A and B are shown apart, each in its own frame.
Chain A
């Protein structure tokens, strides 16, 4: 099958989903991100890699954090950045997505960061753009959110370097979560031996086991002896009908409290992609507690997004990646 994410030489051309990316590429992104973490701690928090390039954030769906971190990442690579909230611009006047994209290409945009409520939107744009233009999926519908998945892997690796020896639990609204899908693919590709999902039946996709995860409906059983707890946001705005009794009821059963967290290993870490619903899927004392790595996730998210952009934008005139002469 033709994988639009890789070029003929097996190099990253677009980042659309974790699914379909080999372990080699995932590790390269994470290793490269390692080098970018230090950039933020220097006097000048910039490197000149994307100097003269224009990165266009195309957000057809709102997301302050993701847009901001992509913007900071692009700016730290010295790119020029345009951020468009498309629902408030010409789309509301009837312009099609591809017309919007073509107009931005005519303005010499080099890279698109796309967020859309429809699954497959970034793929659609990637198929349309000419060779020298790169597309990053910043979340499409229920499908995928690859940079979130990658930054979660980066965060886990920072605290638990031996991925081959981990038990990870993903808790909450897996059904509506593109983050969960990306996390599951990333964890299994990187060789994490045991991935659990913990959720009520109504919030799990059918046949979720096929992704290689162990399913738990009971939080206490599912959290037992895990090293990493990855919370998901309860997607209120995506809920139709009676999937859940109430937020309070949900918190009682699936909200992460310190008592429940104590069932995990004593040095277990807690992740959350944000924005958090405190008191719904996670208790404030856990979110702010010593096991929480939720804010480091945000910091590492910038380095990971820098790595992705840097890998996409370079090396377009050469087939092979070689170290060059001094």
Chain B
């Protein structure tokens, strides 16, 4: 069912583009927050790329697992695996850069924002996604992306972490029954 599409951009190249675009946003009060799991992989790589250029202290960062805030919990329940959200800094008045791998409906972002606000009142949230695949269902959009694709609802784009630690994008076609598709994590 998996169909590798050779026209997909290289995720590692996109990552570099993303780092360049995020760089100017960094200020004293900025913190990075990755959304599990793809957003966290990206954040970890971004930290390395960004901190190379920064003389100052390491950038504050955290991770979110938005399982407890999803709007499809009642339908789908909890995943067998979920990881604790870890926000080891004070969210109050921070400029948060929220990182996700693939931006699609906007529902994950909605959940992530709700969760963030339960930690405190951030000064701002900027949404960064590696790829915007189109198809949003809420008035939410990423401010920064490295690539914009127009994918059909029957296609599932996801970020994969390979054995060697590199990231790549994978496209699957969903055959009618959407509930059969498992997200790689």
Contacts and interface: CB of A to CB of B under 8 A. Distances in A.
A102 to B, nearest CB: 24
A48 B68 contact: yes
Contact of A326 (B73, B82, B103): B103
A42 B72 CA distance: 24
A320 to B, nearest CB: 6
Given A35-B84, A43-B118, A325 B77 contact: no
Contacts of A321: 76-80
Given A38-B84, A315-B76, A44 B118 contact: yes
A317 interface: yes
A326 B104 contact: yes
A interface majority secondary structure: loop
Given A28-B80, A318-B179, A319-B179, A326 B102 contact: yes
A35 B180 contact: no
Given A32-B82, A34-B84, A38-B85, A315 B75 contact: yes
Given A311-B78, A314-B76, A322 B179 contact: yes
Nearest to B90: A43
A49 B183 contact: no
B104 A317 contact: no
B76 A38 contact: no
A48 B119 contact: no
Contacts of B104: 325-326
Contacts of B79: 321-323
A11 B84 contact: no
Interface of B: 35, 38, 65, 67-70, 72-87, 91, 100-105, 107-108, 114-115, 117-120, 156, 179-183, 185
Interface of A: 11, 28, 31-32, 34-35, 37-39, 42-44, 46-49, 310-311, 313-326
The 7 closest A-B pairs by CB, nearest first: A315-B77, A314-B77, A323-B183, A44-B118, A47-B68, A326-B108, A35-B84
Given A42-B119, A322-B182, 13 more contacts: A35-B85, A43-B120, A47-B69, A48-B68, A314-B76, A315-B77, A315-B78, A318-B77, A321-B77, A321-B80, A322-B179, A324-B70, A326-B102
